[in-house]
């Protein structure tokens, strides 16, 4: 696979260009000076001691992966549940499980823990120079497990702070080749890909070859970070017995707008089962006013006559939301 491009000593100004390019980038040793990375250079126990000192004393969700899951966090066989169970635990009770990996193939991990709630002094001691302070860090801990291929409708900076991780990334146009799972049940908010890329079964998933041909891969060590653009599929494989990662999710889009996922689901209701000649009409409409150059599409109209095509002022947005809501009552 193609290695993810690596850059060093990135500034906030240069990072704006990284985001605009919409390609993954390894930010080499971006957080090398963090206290938790310094602790990782000493030992795994030094990492857990640092986190224990920051602990707010709340139970955290510990996920337990059985041996038959083969180290992969995924759907269950019915595609209506997950192949792991989650139970609340005190952090002090989790450390022995993470520091002494099980020998039966079981896995343990804590995912997406908001540090402002569970480790409230973490952000103060671990500054992220590329993002505004309101983008808060999240902690991921685990043994030798893999997170199944998925995407996030957020931009993401993932920082390895202990252990090592391999990221395999796929551009959004590979969705069909990744065989996405159900949308109405999603363990993390977005569908998971069904094939296991660690041991690909091309007889069962033939289009997976094309996805892997387009994949990019990065292996990160403590201090390294990876920028993952909005909507890129990624699988994350822990490569050490004990692993810790900090990530930041954010979305620069206007938070007052309805979620794109809801618009997609509305289109399933309104458009998917139309006759082909009618879907073709709406395809042109979407290309003209949604996915194309909308300003050029309405350039012939004066501002006062553009209506819903024009600027979405607060008043216009409120009216459109009311119209949409009324249609689905």
Stated pTM of the model = 0.92
pLDDT band at 258 (very low <50, low <70, confident <90, very high): low
pLDDT mean across residues, the chain: 94
Give the per-residue pLDDT at 172. Answer: 97
DSSP of 217-267, one letter per residue?
EEEE-TT-EEEE-TT-EEEEEE-SSSEEEEEEEE--S-TTSPPHHHHHHHH
- pLDDT > 80? residue 114: yes
pLDDT digits (tens, 9 = 90+) for 227-248: 999 999 999 999 999 999 999 9
- pLDDT > 90? residue 256: no
Give the per-residue pLDDT at 255. Answer: 67
pLDDT band at 319 (very low <50, low <70, confident <90, very high): confident
**Averaged over 258-286, what is the pLDDT?**
91
Phi first, then psi: what are they for 301, rounded to 5°?
-100, 135
- In which element (H, E) is residue 61 found? strand 60-65
pLDDT digits (tens, 9 = 90+) for 1-32: 899 999 999 999 999 999 999 999 999 999 99
**Averaged over 145-174, what is the pLDDT?**
97
User: By C-alpha distance, which of 161, 171, 204 is closest to 2?
Assistant: 171
């Amino acid at each position: 696979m193609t290695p993810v491009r690596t850059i060093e000593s990135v500034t906030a100004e240069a990072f704006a260009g990284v985001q605009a390019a919409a390609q993954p980038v390894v930010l080499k040793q971006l957080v090398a000076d963090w206290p938790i990375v310094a602790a990782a250079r000493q030992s795994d126990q030094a990492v857990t001691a640092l986190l224990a000192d920051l602990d707010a004393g709340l139970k955290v969700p510990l996920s337990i992966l059985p041996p038959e899951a083969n180290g992969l966090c995924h759907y269950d066989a019915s595609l209506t549940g997950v192949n792991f169970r989650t139970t609340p635990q005190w952090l002090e009770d989790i450390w022995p499980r993470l520091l002494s990996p099980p020998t039966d193939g079981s896995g343990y991990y804590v995912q997406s823990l908001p540090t402002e709630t569970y480790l409230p002094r973490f952000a103060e001691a671990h500054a992220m120079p590329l993002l505004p302070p309101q983008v808060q860090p999240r902690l991921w801990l685990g043994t030798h497990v893999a997170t199944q291929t998925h995407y996030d409708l957020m931009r993401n900076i993932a920082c390895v702070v202990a252990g090592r991780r391999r990221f395999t990334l796929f551009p959004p146009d590979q969705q069909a080749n990744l065989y996405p799972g159900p949308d109405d049940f999603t363990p993390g908010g977005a569908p998971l890909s069904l094939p296991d890329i660690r041991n690909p079964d091309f007889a069962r998933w033939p289009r997976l070859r094309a996805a892997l041909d387009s994949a990019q891969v990065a292996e990160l060590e403590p201090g390294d970070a990876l920028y993952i653009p909005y909507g890129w599929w990624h699988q994350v494989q822990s490569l050490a017995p004990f692993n810790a990662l900090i990530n930041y999710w954010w979305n620069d889009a206007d938070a007052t707008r309805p979620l794109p996922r809801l618009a997609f689901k509305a289109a399933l209701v309104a458009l998917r089962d139309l006759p082909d000649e009618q879907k073709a009409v709406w395809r042109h409409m979407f290309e003209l006013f949604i996915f194309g150059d909308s300003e050029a599409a309405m350039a012939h109209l004066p501002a006062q006559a553009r209506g819903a095509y024009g600027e979405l002022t607060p008043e216009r947005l409120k009216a459109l939301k009311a119209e949409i809501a009324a249609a689905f009552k």
